[in-house]
Chain A
Amino acid sequence: MKKFIIMSCLVLWQFTQLYAQQVKGGVFEMVGGESSPLIGANVVQLNTLNGTTTDKEGHFNLKLEKKAPKKLVVSYVSYQSDTINLNDTGFGHVHVTLKNLKNLDEVEVVSRKASSHLSRTETRGITSINEGELQKAACCNLSESFETSASVDVSYADAVTGAKQIQLLGLAGLYTQMLTENMPNLRGLAMPYRLGYVPGSWMESIQVSKGTSSVINGYEAMAGQINIEYKKPDEGEKMLLNLYGNQMGKVEGNLNTRFELNERWSTMVLAHAEYNGTKHDDNDDTFLDDPLVQQVNFFNRWKYKGENLRLQFGFKYLTENRQGGQMNFDPGKNHDTENGYGIGVETDRYEGFLKMGYILKNKDHSSIGFQNQVVYHDVNSFYGLNVYDADQFSYYGNLMLQSYINDTRHQYTTGISFSLDNYTQQLNDTIWMRDEQVTGAFFQYTYSNFKNLNIITGLRLDYNNLYGWLFTPRLHAKYNINEHNVLRLSFGRGYRTANVIAENTSVLATSKNIRFLEDLDIESSWNFGLTYAAYIDIGAKELVLTADYFYTNFNNQVILDREEDPFIVYIYNLDGQSYSNSIQLEAQYEPIDRFELKLAFRYNDVKTTIGDELKEKPFVSKYIGLLSASYQTNLKKWQFDMNLQLNGDQRLPYTGFNPEIYRSPDRSPVYAILNAQVTKYFKRWDIYIGGENLTNYKQNNPVIQADQPFGEYFDSSMVWGPVSGIKVYAGIRFTINK
């Protein structure tokens, strides 16, 4: 469906069909953001001699030959030719824009598409991370996929579980809505370990958008949205085998295979297994640096491509066993103070989905889509003497109609959705049950003048059985000042129901008790964003500069207050201000052929009222710097990647009430992380070797009171930097394309 929008934005607008076998249209070029007619351009029906030329207004009128393909080849001297499929555009009025080839001698400038790039055509500012980029960090799962992205920060949640979290705009990852193939996913109980649930080699691409997002996927995206596209059963390599190992003893295997059963049906099996069975304690604090993890992850998907009907369904199963804590802890024995401090998390997760798309026969550019997803997630865990067991059943259904009003300048998507979340959680002796049902309707209108302005406005109204009516307005606009300068604006609201325990399992790995002071309201916020992108030609290459500013203001937020009392974490609703300001500058350039450079800097100002005081949000770096360099040799036989990330200082939660030896500093130091990888490509296979955290930077004493893990000041959640040091890994990818 996205393709539809892009296609129509780029090349066409159309009116009602006048004559079935007659096609009318115009051929234009873009001059300084304005559309200007091309006089005398050739328009020829494909595989025929049937053709015409455009008049002085750039218009043409052509009778089609019945037997030949319904396609037009549009060409003009020193412009790039284009082939238009009339079955896609309709026959009414075809608007074609040809690109000027700057230099006639160069037959075609083959340029490698930068593997992470800000889309130029999307109204929303979407940065896409494609497979080339994903392979730069060959290990292992979603958490490593953002290494070269300046917008997404990844950090450890605590020192013992190995759980990683993302941040967008300096806001915790839970404010970023995760989608898998445009359906909300990895929510609720999946939150703490979700980055480990998506194996790297399963992903085709990731789209990251900051700020408010579309109303189509619900009201949850508050700070941004991350969509993961898995590999498709009818595209790409026939088989991929990836084996990985690192010096810490972790091994991983991935196997992807796909089959095209016939022209319409295709299926794919994606399988992943990982095993880390070696205990390490390099900082001698008696705690494992990395937890022991066993995971099996399996996904089978099917696709049907009919004339008008598209169907996709699939089933996914994940089982994971995670064990951390002290080196001498034996999970087989009683979990008591004698045995030492241990952590165990057993997870089983089942997902099923069914998506249908139907292209309406009588109306072009119109389609009906129906998305369905079912998730069951079960977790049994212990953190020291805390026992936490929970399960979640969720359903998501979204029925939508996409069409246009009068002509494709005015498109809309409208629909209804229903979602259900059923949680049962038990922490020690306390049980929480929650049955949340949300029924909603939305309308999104997209305007494009096909020159320089695109606007998406959306409204949705939901009824939540726990929190009542929720109204979500959202707006995106994109204005091309000229060919080289693009301005984007976004504004909108978001809501989210907090799952306090599941989202803060790191608090379970402390001596602190959790105390709820009141019933929690739904979290809600407004977000405003402004992005400016400049595309500057320097020599044959283009320098891309982007600057963005995002402001998020919370009307309500669930506050986790650990700064009042050494032994209790208070949970309550925000009473006062809470906001985030985030400014980011980024430059991307290819100074030498096949050598890409990216430099980015971001400043975060994130403050929340904790207690009665407006404080800097803990564990948020004041600033982030990123330098990423990538070089590919001619013929793509070797690839070298390097990235350096600078992390500014973070405020750490107040620990002044602890005895002096159990305090942490007020602020973390500034530190840098260096990752590098070399890949050698062969005809059917690739090998890679790389290192993470090559400067071997580690946080000293990540666990407070590690010598007495059942003592009253024990805290493993004060983590601001890497817990484990340098990691060297190597792997092999074997591909069959035919």
Chain B
Amino acid sequence: MKIIKIIPVILLSLAALQMNAQDNKVKIDTVSIQTSAKCNDCKERLEHDMAFEKGVKAVELDSETKILTIVYKNNKTTEEKLKIAITKIGYDADEMPADQKAHDRLPACCQKDAEPH
């Protein structure tokens, strides 16, 4: 029975952690970056990996234009850092070319010379 009592406490503290993070007053910026994403796989990869970059609050790739829109806290990260993060996942970020090693590790369908699909 002890365990039953503990579970709500764990859940509450987890929720509290979340709220704390949101309460801090910082300036929120939005940036749109053209990427070399190809497909839905790329979209998932970019959105998942970028979500774990420091300062990122929201991230979404437009499937049509392959533009990645990132909402971030400007005291935690910068536009440049975000672009570098994208290149390290293996994609071009505006004028910055993809990190070649990371790019070559992507599945064939997600590499730059793949046909759009």
Interface residues of A (CB under 8 A from B): 46, 69, 81, 83, 107-108, 110, 247, 260, 263, 633-638, 640, 676, 678, 682-683, 689, 691, 694, 696, 726, 728, 737-738
Contact = CB atoms under 8 A, between A and B. Distances in A.
The 5 closest A-B pairs by CB, nearest first: A635-B51, A683-B52, A738-B105, A728-B3, A107-B62
B81 interface: no
The range of chain B's interface size is 20 to 34
8 contacts: A81-B64, A634-B58, A635-B56, A635-B57, A635-B59, A678-B11, A726-B4, A737-B45
B20 interface: no
A108 B62 contact: yes
A691 B64 contact: no
Contacts of A69: 115
A726 B57 CA distance: 37
A643 to B, nearest CB: 15
Contacts of B90: 738
B117 A683 contact: no
Given A108-B62, A638-B14, A638-B18, 10 more contacts: A46-B116, A83-B116, A263-B108, A633-B18, A634-B58, A640-B11, A678-B11, A683-B52, A737-B45, A738-B106
A688 to B, nearest CB: 12
B90 to A, nearest CB: 8
Contacts of A682: 52
Contacts of B65: 107
Nearest to A633: B18
Contact of A637 (B7, B51, B63, B117): B51
Contacts of A737: 45
Contact of A694 (B7, B18, B56, B106): B7
Interface string B94-109: 0000000010011110
Binding site secondary structure of chain B: mixed
Contacts, number: 53
Interface in B42-84: 45, 48-49, 51-52, 56-60, 62-65
Contacts of B117: 83
B9 interface: no
B14 A635 contact: no
B3 to A, nearest CB: 6
Interface string B27-53: 000000000000000000100110110
B51 A694 contact: no
A605 to B, nearest CB: 36
Given A635-B58, A738-B106, A726 B64 contact: no
A83 B64 CA distance: 11
Contacts of A738: 90, 102, 105-106
A399 to B, nearest CB: 32
B109 to A, nearest CB: 11
A636 B11 contact: no
Nearest to A110: B60
A689 B105 CA distance: 32
Nearest to B117: A83
Nearest to A680: B14
Contacts of A640: 11
Contacts of A110: 60
Contacts of A107: 62, 64-65
Contacts of B63: 108
A223 to B, nearest CB: 36
Contacts of A108: 62-64
A625 B18 CA distance: 32
A676 B45 contact: no
Contacts of A635: 51, 56-59
Interface string B1-32: 10110010011001000100000000000000
Contacts of A678: 10-11, 14
B7 A676 contact: yes
Contacts of B64: 81, 107-108
A260 B49 CA distance: 23
Nearest to A80: B64
A694 B5 CA distance: 11
A86 to B, nearest CB: 13
A656 to B, nearest CB: 36
Given A69-B115, A676-B7, A683-B52, A696 B58 contact: no
Given A110-B60, A678-B11, A636 B48 contact: yes
Nearest to B6: A728
A44 B108 CA distance: 26
A737 B46 CA distance: 12
Given A678-B11, A691-B7, A738-B105, A683 B59 contact: no
A81 B14 CA distance: 42
B52 A696 contact: no
Given A69-B115, A263-B108, A635-B58, A726 B48 contact: no
A625 to B, nearest CB: 22
Contact of B3 (A637, A683, A726): A726
A630 to B, nearest CB: 14
A46 B117 CA distance: 10
Contacts of A46: 116
Contacts of A683: 48-49, 52
Contacts of A689: 10
A696 B3 CA distance: 10
A689 B3 CA distance: 12
Nearest to A263: B108
Max count, chain B CB within 10 A of own CB: residue among A69, A260, A634:
A634
A107 B18 CA distance: 29
A36 B91 CA distance: 40
Q: Which of B1, B3, B49, B90 has the most A CB atoms < 10 Å from its CB? A: B3
A678 B60 CA distance: 24
A640 B15 CA distance: 11
Which of B56, B65, B106, B116 has the most chain A CB atoms inside 10 A of its CB? B116
Given A635-B56, A638-B14, A638-B18, A691 B115 contact: no
A654 B24 CA distance: 65
Contacts of B45: 737
B69 to A, nearest CB: 9
B50 to A, nearest CB: 9
Instruction: Tell which of A108, A635, A636, A726 has the most Cβ of chain B within 10 Å.
Output: A635
Contacts of B51: 635-637
Nearest to B106: A738
Contact of B4 (A247, A634, A636, A696): A696
Contacts of A638: 14, 18
A686 to B, nearest CB: 11
Contact of A696 (B1, B105, B108): B1
A635 B58 CA distance: 6
Contacts of B106: 738
Contacts of B56: 635
A292 to B, nearest CB: 23
